[in-house]
Amino acid sequence: MRIVARLFVLLFTTILFSGCTTTEFVNHWSDPAYKGPKFQRILVIGMLKDDIKRRAFEDKFSQNITRGNVVGISSYTLMPNIENIDDKAKLLPFVKKANADSVLIASLTAIDKKERRVPASVDWVPTMGYGAYNGFYDYYGRSYRNMYTPVYQSAYTTTDTIIKIETRLFAVSTEKLVWAADTESFNPGSFQKVINELSSIILKDLKKSGLVN
């Protein structure tokens, strides 16, 4: 029974945290002076050295922000060798080719590993079980006495992974920064989850800032 109770705690914890958002803004800003039209064509540039991850990032990010009259454009489809494009003169032709009105640049700034001590704890879980009982009162009495079983968890050390990404949005018409954010993803579990959560909170904030519909 105690093993079953421990499994119940582990399963509940897994379900609880798998549904939580792990990516959050650390800082974010939008230019209050920007009075231009809302952006409709966003060129997405993922500054990642790993070409496969860059393509996956740009594709998923572009896909997630493409809705309504907003279109995300993966930059690798226009400039596959990003390491050769290191100044405005080289970048501008691709921006024009994409017919983009804005450029979003996301850069991986750090992957931090931090050890954390988790203290001992006691969890109380329902006792599962079936058996013969003599009427309502007998069943009630058994249920009350066995309502919860304590499950003890010893203290342990775990390592947290924190992925830090900075994202900047520039207006093509003025070439100025109009929106910026720094985010942290806490134990995301997968690269795809980072992209999904990052694109989701960014799109919401761009809408809130009045930069996209």
Between CA 79 and CA 81 the distance in angstroms is 6
Average of pLDDT values for 89-112? 95
**Among 94, 63, 98, 72, CA closest to 81:** 94
Q: pLDDT value at position 158?
A: 86
Between CA 110 and CA 32 the distance in angstroms is 29
- Residue 29: which H helix or E strand, with range? strand 23-30
Structure tokens at 140: 């009630």
CA atoms within 13 A on the CB side of 13: 10
- Where are the domain boundaries for CATH 3.40.50 in the chain? 2-116+156-208
Predicted TM-score (pTM) of this structure? 0.74
Average of pLDDT values for 82-93? 88
Average of pLDDT values for 146-152? 69
Residue 60's contacts (CB-CB under 8 Å, 6 or more residues apart) are 192, 195, 196, 199
Q: What are phi and psi of 208, to 5 degrees?
A: -60, -35
Within a 10 A sphere around the Cβ of 212, how many other Cβ atoms? 21
> Counting Cβ atoms within 10 Å, is residue 200 exposed (0-12), middle (13-18) or buried (19+)?
middle
Within a 10 A sphere around the Cβ of 209, how many other Cβ atoms? 18
Which pLDDT band, with edges at 50, 70 and 90, does 189 fall under?
confident
User: CATH code for 2-116+156-208?
Assistant: 3.40.50
